[in-house]
Amino acid sequence: MKMEKSPVKSNRNIYLTVFIANLSFLAVGHGAGWSSPSLPIITSDDFFIKISSDQASWVVSYISLGGVFGPLVSGCLLDVIGRKKTITFNMAVNLFSWIFLWFGSSVEIMYVARFLCGVTIGITFTTVPIYIAEISEPRMRGLLNGLNLVTRSSTILFQYVAGNLVNYFTLIELSCIVPILYFLLMFWMPESPYFLIAKGKKDEAIKVLTWFRGEVPPNVLEKEIKEIKDYIEKSSSQKGSFKDLFKKEHYRIILIMFGMLAFSQLIGVTVVLFFLKSIFEASKSTVPSSWASSLVCALMLVVAFFIPTISKLFGYKKPMILSSVGSGVSLAALGGSFFLFDQGIQTPFLNYTPLISLVVYIIFLSLGMLSFPWMVVSEMLPSTIKARASSIATSVGFLTAFLSSVTFSSLIESLGIDVSFWLYSVFCFASAMFIYVFIPETSGLSLNEIQDAIKLPQKINNDKEVNSNKKTMVVCLKNQFEINIGIDGTYTSKNVNENA
């Protein structure tokens, strides 16, 4: 790793490192965005492989199936070879997936290529947020982790636009640029200090932190090293195993993980992004489907630039609730437009309703549910179960995405496209209720404080038995109610100190 002397209080090196790590999310955008413009091409009579519509649906869906296994792979690698080497392995597999797709001479090879691409997406969502959370200061974590939506949205947009301008093979070649760029820049990306300290490499961890933080006073650096060691020791007081996932103290975290990542897919994001062009064509609107889909994705990119600021100002919880409710309303309107089309109703406004509904859906989706669930999960996990729990939870998310995409056509045939989108709308509102009730706010807290926030209800009950002071009991009960029920969901280290 190349390191140079950093100026005082410089964030240049951490921004550089986050940019290199987020190249993985650029690759995610290429993989996710490829389906929408390529689906009409591979199903056309002019394509060099004869692919039926059912086979094309599997080509689209295999990327989500690969995503189920990606987190399991990263779970085996993260704590063994480290965060950086896991990301490097991931980018190598991503490059090979595009090479397979370019040379593919049968639909089966296309299946394998898309499956491998999905594996890399699953690894990315499990590994990169953890890496960024561990190298970032608490005040910057939300900002830096929020950049992943900008990066993947930009390449999804690139795929939508370029897919209308270049041929099938050129689009694949352009998708290979990102992993190649990573291998040119990877030497400026150090290992996580958390992993280094966990492996007993304190001197190397100090060197990495100095490079990240600049020439900060030695006592500040030592304090952060101590916080990292305390976090690791606290979380690793007992050896982590698969059985630890089901211990009583982890029930709340497991519930939040599975619920968040399942809802992040059940609200229709996979269906909309993978079949966006086809949805516009099915709407019978006179708006050109190719450029309407590009417009929707462009707005997703614009909103993505505001996500770091939103997370800094409002945290994660409130934007996710707003995102879920807004997405539900827009999908309900989209289903209503399809219903009116089926009734033979045609008006100038109705002609643009699918476009307006999907624009509103993408805007609200981007405000929270497109990226924040992954951030919440990456921050809430104690190190003793982090690798296993995050991999399993992310696999559940991708399994939900796979089932959503592969059943979309059958759902339309059995229920109709209008009822299908109304069903996704119901899941959006259910997502908002889940977040409101169960999710505490974690933005801006250290990893130690997040663990205290999750376990605070247990701590408060113990404090109430010992302390008979009425004022203290009222404060404790208020905090317990807010964190358990989700009325406020906020937590600060000051609360712990007051109630300790």
Q: Quick one: average pLDDT of 101-127?
A: 92
Least confident interval from 90-99, 289-298, 482-491 = 482-491
| Whether 269 contacts 323, CB under 8 Å | no
Q: With bands split at pLDDT 50, 70 and 90, how would you rate the model's confidence at 469?
A: very low
> Is 319 or 249 the better-scoring residue by pLDDT?
319
Closest CA to 399 of 265, 267, 203: 265
DSSP 432-453: HHHHHHHPPP-TT--HHHHHHH
- Residue 384 pLDDT > 70, yes or no? no
Does the predicted model carry a pTM greater than 0.85?
Answer: no
Q: Which helix (H) or strand (E) holds 298?
A: helix 289-304
Could you tell me the pLDDT band of residue 113, with boundaries at 50, 70 and 90? very high
Label residue 265 left, alpha or beta by phi (over 0 means left) and psi (-120 to 50 means alpha).
alpha
DSSP-based three-state secondary structure for 137: coil
Domains of the chain: 9-189 (1.20.1250.20), 241-457 (1.20.1250.20)
Phi-psi region of 129 (alpha: psi -120 to 50; beta: other; left: phi over 0): alpha
Percent over 70 (pLDDT), the chain: 83
Report pLDDT for 461. Answer: 35
State the pLDDT confidence band at 214, using cuts at 50, 70 and 90: confident
Kindly state the tokens that stand for 372. Answer: 């924040």
Residue 410 reports pLDDT greater than 90: no
Between the alpha carbon of residue 369 and those of residues 98, 304, 320, 362, the distances in Å are 28, 12, 6, 10
Q: Are 394 and 126 in contact (CB under 8 A)?
A: yes
Summarize pLDDT for 434-451 with one digit per residue, the tens: 998 888 777 666 666 776
Q: What's 316's DSSP letter?
A: T
Helix 107-135 crosses helix 372-380 at what angle (to 10 degrees)? 60
Per-residue confidence (pLDDT) for residue 346, from 0 to 100 = 79
Rounded mean pLDDT, 447-456: 66
Confidence of residue 333 (pLDDT cuts 50, 70, 90): very high
- Spatial contact of 52 and 104, defined as CB atoms under 8 Å apart: no
Please tell me which of 88-97, 187-196, 273-282, 350-359 the model is most confident about, judged by mean pLDDT: 88-97
> Residue holding tokens 């649906």?
57
Say whether pLDDT at 244 is over 80: no
Spatial separation of the C-alpha atoms in residues 474 and 35, rounded to whole Å: 55
148 versus 417: which is more confidently predicted?
A: 417
Asked if pLDDT for residue 367 goes beyond 60, the answer is yes
The residue count for the chain = 500
| pLDDT above 80: residue 403 | yes
Which of 428, 302, 457, 318 shows the shortest CA–CA distance to 376?
Answer: 318
User: What percent of the chain lies above the pLDDT cut of 90?
Assistant: 29
Indicate if the pLDDT at residue 479 is higher than 60.
no
The highest-confidence range among 115-129, 285-299, 387-401, 448-462, by mean pLDDT, is 115-129
Alpha helices (H) along 35-106 = 35-42, 53-81, 83-103
Q: Please report the pLDDT score of residue 315 as a whole number.
A: 83
- pLDDT band of residue 270 (cuts 50, 70, 90) is confident
Comparing 276 with 66, the larger pLDDT belongs to 66
pLDDT over threshold 80, residue 496: no
Instruction: Calculate the average pLDDT of the chain.
Output: 80
Query: Which tens digit of pLDDT belongs to each residue from 147-181?
Result: 777 888 899 989 988 988 899 999 999 999 999 99
The pLDDT score that the predictor gives to residue 94 is 97
Assess contact for 216 and 224: CB atoms under 8 A.
no
